[in-house]
Amino acid sequence: MAKTKELSKDTRNKIVDLHQVGKTESAIGKQLGLKKSTVGAIIRKWKTYKTTDNLPRSGAPRKISPRGVKMITRTVSKNPRTTRGDLVNDLQRAGTKVTKPTISNTLRRQGLKSCSARRVPLLKPVHVQARLKFAREHLDDPDEDWENVIWSDETKIELFGKNSTRRVWRTKNAELHPKNTIPTVKHGGGNIMLWGCFSAKGPGRLIRVKERMNGAMYREILSENLLPSARALKMKRGWVFQHDNDPKHTARATKEWLRKKHFKVLEWPSQSPDLNPIENLWRELKVRVAQRQPQNITALEEICMEE
């Protein structure tokens, strides 16, 4: 049955006024173009409650009892990867039959919503301490210092890759809690490998690495692309180069090459790709490339360079 339109307050008050001057329900209905039953309902409400305003509605009772709400909230707090199906089964064993949407609505009222688990580096205690030390050392650095950094990294881009996701129940601003994330290791597969750099002033060069990269190849990439990028970006004197602690980057020969070139290198904590803002650039690049749907490796490389 279609839902009828609610009468305006003015119309309801007019019904009461006409009733008070002695008009019948039928006459009022004809005058205002309303059904007699509608007029009668408004008059009865006015006689009972002395108002024509909408009264508080009780609504349907909750399907899940307060005890059941506590149970499923406690379950997802202990294990955020619990599925709605698991919770439906738990409640059914307790004697309550509900649907998955009811589970979602109930947990949402408790401040929990289903989200894709964030992927973060797999950290050991030593990594956690190194990252904390880095953060404390740079906590008060002025913006100008960060604007004078060239950030660099390598990344792999898949041709037809799909990133798997897992959903977790979490509260607002808890996306990085260890229980709500998926640990990852860097470079988890793909079709082409890229090296790139950027600063606050814009992107530097982007090149494809066609062979397995070793220390010698990495130094060659820096020799041919880092300084030209710095010049193109018009970096100030004393600019700082950032790269992570990949063995190619920290090899003795690479360190010596950087020292001879008088490059100032930012000390970097291990297992910290998520601290490098170039990861946001890679993410944007991968999203744009995926939208263009390259069909082969040649097209994939061309689109990466264009984007």
pLDDT at 188 over 50: no
Which pLDDT does position 176 carry in this prediction? 86
pLDDT for 194-240, tens place per residue? 999 999 999 999 999 988 899 999 999 999 999 999 999 999 999 99
**Predicted structure pTM score:** 0.61
pLDDT for 128-158, tens place per residue? 999 999 999 999 999 999 999 999 999 999 8
- DSSP H or E run through 46: helix 36-49
Alpha-carbon gap, residue 268 to 160, rounded angstroms:
32
pLDDT for 5-64, tens place per residue? 788 889 999 999 999 999 999 999 999 999 999 999 999 989 988 888 877 766 778 889
Which pLDDT does position 40 carry in this prediction? 93
167, 171, 188, 284 from 181: Cα distances, Å: 9, 13, 16, 21
